[in-house]
């Protein structure tokens, strides 16, 4: 039974791709899910769901949303960026707004929202109610932290796979991200949000060096 569960997590990892920053694509039984699509090279138009964490240009890019969206795509955005989301309304079939700390199921996709904010920096204020997401797929929980520090809400997340920012400046740095992962103890941790707009390519290695067993680090960003 344990081997079967491990195989499920491994298979899920194979279905997760990171393009750049927090631009993530997940293939699942619920459909194709994009999170914060950015610098998309090919016009795939295969998104069943497009989840946006917040409205900064490197996370909410209408140009890239149009490359992945199709007529029946569902775009999920923080409630407070409902007006901003209209810039991409022509691409998605419909837009759903959500607040932090809620559980939703939309067209077969089950997810929870997690607050994402900075504690001592001004870039992502708590009052903005921006988001991370925990996706529930095939009985496993995938946490996409978004642009956040190691806040108390992040430390309370229970997940099997965690995608966490490690580039610093606007988010946790590699060391703080590793401390968070060591506390929540997913099976797999994937570093994101480094090596391009912010952070160095070596931040991923620094993160991995500080992550403790039994958590395994998998790199999905390649330079």
* Domain spans of the chain, in order of start: 2-217
Low-confidence ranges of the chain (pLDDT < 70): 1-8
Q: How far apart are CA 35 and CA 32, in angstroms?
A: 10
The SS3 assignment for 133 reads: strand
pTM: 0.95
pLDDT value for 10: 75
pLDDT value for 6: 59
Q: What is the DSSP letter of 81?
A: G
pLDDT value for 155: 98
pLDDT tens per residue, range 60-89: 999 999 999 999 999 999 999 999 999 999
pLDDT value for 89: 95
Q: How far apart are CA 92 and CA 68, in angstroms?
A: 10
The SS3 assignment for 84 reads: helix
| Burial (CB count <10 Å: 0-12, 13-18, 19+), residue 6 | exposed
- Could you give the strand order of the β-sheet that contains 74-78, starting from the edge strand earlier in sequence? 16-20, 23-28, 31-35, 49-51, 74-78, 94-98
Nearest to 143 by CA among 154, 134, 156: 134
Class of domain 2-217 (CATH, top level): alpha beta
């Amino acid at each position: 039974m344990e081997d079967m569960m491990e195989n499920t997590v491994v298979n899920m990892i194979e279905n997760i791709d990171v393009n750049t920053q927090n631009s993530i694509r997940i293939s699942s039984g619920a459909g194709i899910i994009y999170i914060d699509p950015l610098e998309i090279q090919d016009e795939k138009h295969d998104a069943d769901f497009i989840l946006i964490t917040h409205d900064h240009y490197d996370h909410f890019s209408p140009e890239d949303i149009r490359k992945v969206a199709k007529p029946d795509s569902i775009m999920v955005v923080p409630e407070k960026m409902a007006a901003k989301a209209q810039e991409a309304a022509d691409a998605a079939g419909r837009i759903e707004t959500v607040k932090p700390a809620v559980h939703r199921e939309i067209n077969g996709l089950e997810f929870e929202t997690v607050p994402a904010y900075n504690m001592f920096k001004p870039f992502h204020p708590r009052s903005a109610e921006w988001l991370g997401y925990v996706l529930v797929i095939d009985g496993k929980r995938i946490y996409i932290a978004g642009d956040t520090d190691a806040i108390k809400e992040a430390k309370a997340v229970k997940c099997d796979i965690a995608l966490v920012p490690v580039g610093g400046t606007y988010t946790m740095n590699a060391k703080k991200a590793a401390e968070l992962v060591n506390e929540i103890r997913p099976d797999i941790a994937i570093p994101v949000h480094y090596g391009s707009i912010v952070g160095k390519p070596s931040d991923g290695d620094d993160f991995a060096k500080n992550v403790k067993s039994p958590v395994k680090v998998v790199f999905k960003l390649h330079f």
